[in-house]
Amino acid sequence: MKAIHIKNGHLIDPANHIDAATDIYIQHGKIVGIGSKPDNFKPEQTIDANNLIVCPGLIDLNVRIREPGEVHKASLNSEATAAIQAGITTICCPPDTQPIMDTPSVASMIYHRAQRLGYSRVLLIGAATKDLAGQQLSNMRSLMNHHCIALSNANQPIENTLVERRIMEYAKTFGFTLILKPQDTALTDGGCAHEGAVSTRLGLTGIPEAAETVALAKDLALITGTGCKIHFEGISCARSVFMLDQAIKAKLPITAGTPIHQLHLTELDVDGFNSNCHVYPPLRTTNDKTTLRQGINNGTLSVIYSDHQPHENDAKLSPFPSTEPGISGLDTLLSLTIKLVKDHIISMSTAISCLTAGPAKAMNLPYGSLAVGDIADICIFDPDHYATLTRESMQSAGKNSPFIGWELPAQVTHTLLEGKLVFERDTLKVNL
């Protein structure tokens, strides 16, 4: 493993409150020096990061790699390669694979395949209930012993409140983190768009705001009783942000995040039956988008993630309600987040934090920080490089993005995983 010197870059490391032009020295996969060269350090490779931002490798808390089970959509190979080119060094896979990741054997299989590939680090989220059916607890302890970092029920709401309470109690026993996506099934009622003016006009079955806030209120009440550590994902409503803000102030052990598309799109983007904007939770109103952005700014929402759901073309080629929901988001996670900075909505430091330190803290991961002694996962990017997103420029196997045609900032130039340069834009090489 080479000793690497990254010079002339602008380091942004929110975990350590660094936002300055600083050199970085890397050896044996770890950071050995920030600013000043350690004694006896002899660089074997030097990266000139002049005019570039150097930050911790990005951590994406929700990435569907579609493997096993749906390799016609994407594969571990295609998505981990796409991730590394997008500066994402850690991806977390939810348990709704086929078969479902509710046993250690499935978790181990995915883990070992990812290890062999050696691109982005792949972390696993185990199923909280068997078959994700929300009835019987999964073997949580065994899953956590077999490479899982947290538990969730993926997109399936846990309908039975008693089961949900038991899951929290059991997870709390061992200090596990649970990921919840607040959704009330009855109120969702088979809907496919935000219940509002657009769904009314298009005759699409609406999903009311209450589908999220009712479930969130229930979850928060159960956390108050059980003390289980929860990360909320899929936050889409203004009212949810206010509820989370109060809960954080009341010192509940929670963190929360929102998918990047919720910070850019609204119900209006669904107009014309745009199936690339078919997502769960649905795109909400402009007011919701504004409040979510405020939530990012004041720290109520500490995680931005891609909610990456790559699809084959056919999945989006039917009438809107029967298209498969989800956006292919790996390629645009950094660019769309930096766009918020360019649009003067959030600071660069907040943007980087939501992609690094925020998710690391939510999942208690030893990444997302570049202090001396930390693991050298690093993303280097040019914040001022603008490019139009096209199907061809997307590296993910899934081309289902409503952002195609957008001119987006931030191009990743180098990605380092555990001190190894795994991607370099100039040579367009994915080094293994």
Query: What are the residues binding other proteins (CB under 8 A)?
Result: 195-197, 199-206, 208, 271-274, 313-314, 316-322, 391, 399
Residue 39, helix vs strand vs coil: coil
If the CB atoms of residues 95 and 281 are measured against other proteins, the closer one turns out to be 281
- Residue 309 beta carbon to other proteins: minimum distance, rounded to whole angstroms: 16
Token digits of residue 94: 């939810």
- Asked if residue 14 lies in contact with residue 353, where contact means CB atoms within 8 angstroms, the answer is yes
How many CB atoms are located within 10 Å of the residue 286 CB?
10
- Residue 208 beta carbon to other proteins: minimum distance, rounded to whole angstroms: 7
Give backbone dihedrals phi and psi of 249, rounded to 5 degrees, phi first.
-65, -30
- Asked if residue 58 lies in contact with residue 333, where contact means CB atoms within 8 angstroms, the answer is yes
- Residue 299 beta carbon to other proteins: minimum distance, rounded to whole angstroms: 32
Which residue, among 312, 321, 330, 401, has the nearest Cα to 70 in the 3D structure?
A: 312
- Residue 205 beta carbon to other proteins: minimum distance, rounded to whole angstroms: 8
Residue from 184, 307, 331, 374 carrying the catalytic annotation = 307
If the CB atoms of residues 272 and 366 are measured against other proteins, the closer one turns out to be 272
- Whole-number Å distance between alpha carbons of 361 and 346: 20
- Whole-number Å distance between alpha carbons of 122 and 80: 8
CA dihedral 417, 357, 125, 135 (to 10 degrees): 180
Kind of pairing, strands 303-305 and 193-194?
unpaired
Region of residue 226 (left: phi > 0; alpha: psi -120 to 50; beta: else): alpha
- Residue 79 beta carbon to other proteins: minimum distance, rounded to whole angstroms: 19
- Residue 124 beta carbon to other proteins: minimum distance, rounded to whole angstroms: 31
Give backbone dihedrals phi and psi of 143, rounded to 5 degrees, phi first.
-60, -45
274: part of which helix (H) or strand (E)? none
- Whole-number Å distance between alpha carbons of 392 and 22: 35
- Whole-number Å distance between alpha carbons of 429 and 410: 19
- Residue 180 beta carbon to other proteins: minimum distance, rounded to whole angstroms: 26
Q: Does the annotation mark 307 as catalytic?
A: yes
- Asked if residue 257 lies in contact with residue 305, where contact means CB atoms within 8 angstroms, the answer is yes
Kind of pairing, strands 420-424 and 411-417?
antiparallel
If the CB atoms of residues 278 and 361 are measured against other proteins, the closer one turns out to be 278
If the CB atoms of residues 198 and 338 are measured against other proteins, the closer one turns out to be 198
Residue 95, helix vs strand vs coil: coil
How many CB atoms are located within 10 Å of the residue 364 CB?
13
Which residue, among 277, 199, 197, 284, has the nearest Cα to 239 in the 3D structure?
A: 284
If the CB atoms of residues 257 and 281 are measured against other proteins, the closer one turns out to be 281
Query: What residues are annotated to the active site?
Result: 307
